[in-house]
Amino acid sequence: MKLKKKYFIIFLLLTKNIFCQDVHLTQYFIAPQTINPSAFGVINSFEAGLQYKSQWNAFTKGFTSYSAFVNKQLTENSKKFKGFYSAGLNFGYDRSGDGKLTTIFGGLPINYSLRLNDKQVLTSGVSIGFAQKSLTSTNLTWGSQFDGFNYNSNLPNENRNKETIAKLDLGVGMALISKNNDKKFAASNESSNTLGFSVAHINKPRYSFDRNSKERLLMRFNLYESFNYCFSGSPYSISPSLLVQYQGRASEVILGGQFNYKMGGESYITGIKKTSTIGFGAFYRYKDAFALNAFAEVKKIIFGVSYDINTSKLRKTSNSRGGLEIFIKIKNANHLYKGFGNW
């Protein structure tokens, strides 16, 4: 087990070098604006939420991640003005490994949404953020501390107590949001689609603890597709989605969907929601994990849970145990139930 743990720690450090400023969540669709700064403010005029994930702690000191966000539409969406502005705040915290590699980051996404027609909105956004990374190296062991036969903590090493770096981080993105009809009321019964593309770390911030190093964090390219299909006259709907990310030689692909069931009814005159929704889904992260999730929506509050089942080569050590993830989200759904605003 000790040997497996050592190999895992090496893997953990390499992975964090690739994604050292990004919190990776299975239920990424809960806060798509953390991936694309333009993917909010159209369907819901206000959103706020919190996500938590714990991964691989069953057999070593893995990841513990928190992500929080709040978004608000700033200007009125009406027939007089074809566009409107939205802004938000994103915050993330992640700690992993014996070295307690800690990343704290925040962002201010700002976007502009332009109505193309009665069925489509084109949004564009920027994210201005910061990232701080720290490492407590006194808990680590180094190759120089092995004398050829045994480990000797008294031998010279690279322990430097605690290292900290902080950098500016910038991102941009665009998204096309569509609905399939122009009903003004009870629009929750209509299908919709979101297609987005974004680039994170466009300024390529330096991230090495070595002050003499010229290493920079590579740009991360994201493609996001989310589709909601509501069966006509039925309380059932499905929501498939796809996320593709590239950063240097690293990539991540998550494909899956949710099955939703709406209980109760709503007024076709006022559009006031009087329903509750429950659902479950499954997602696959290519060559890494298979995840199951479930959620419930009561009024304007959504909460849910997911669990990753490890499918990579690491499953021999993890016994296929991955990570638990939970979330809670509050939304103002006025735009969801009156189409795209007052158009």
DSSP string across 104-148: EEEEEEEEEEEE-SSSEEEEEEEEEEEEEEEEEGGG---GGGB-S
Tell whether the model's pLDDT for residue 4 goes beyond 90.
no
Question: Which of 6-15, 167-176, 271-280 is the least confident region?
Answer: 6-15
pLDDT over 70 at 119, yes or no: yes
Domain ranges of the chain: 2-137+164-332
CATH architecture of 2-137+164-332: Beta Barrel (2.40)
Query: In the chain, what percentage of residues exceed pLDDT 70?
Result: 71
Q: What is the pTM of this model?
A: 0.77
pLDDT tens digits, 66-83: 999 999 988 876 666 678
Report the alpha-carbon distance of residue 110 to residue 71 in Å, rounded: 9
Residue ranges of E strands in 267-310: 273-285, 289-298, 301-310
What is the pLDDT at residue 195? 93
Task: Measure the CA–CA gap between 135 and 99, rounded to whole angstroms.
Answer: 6
The H or E element spanning position 2 is: helix 2-18
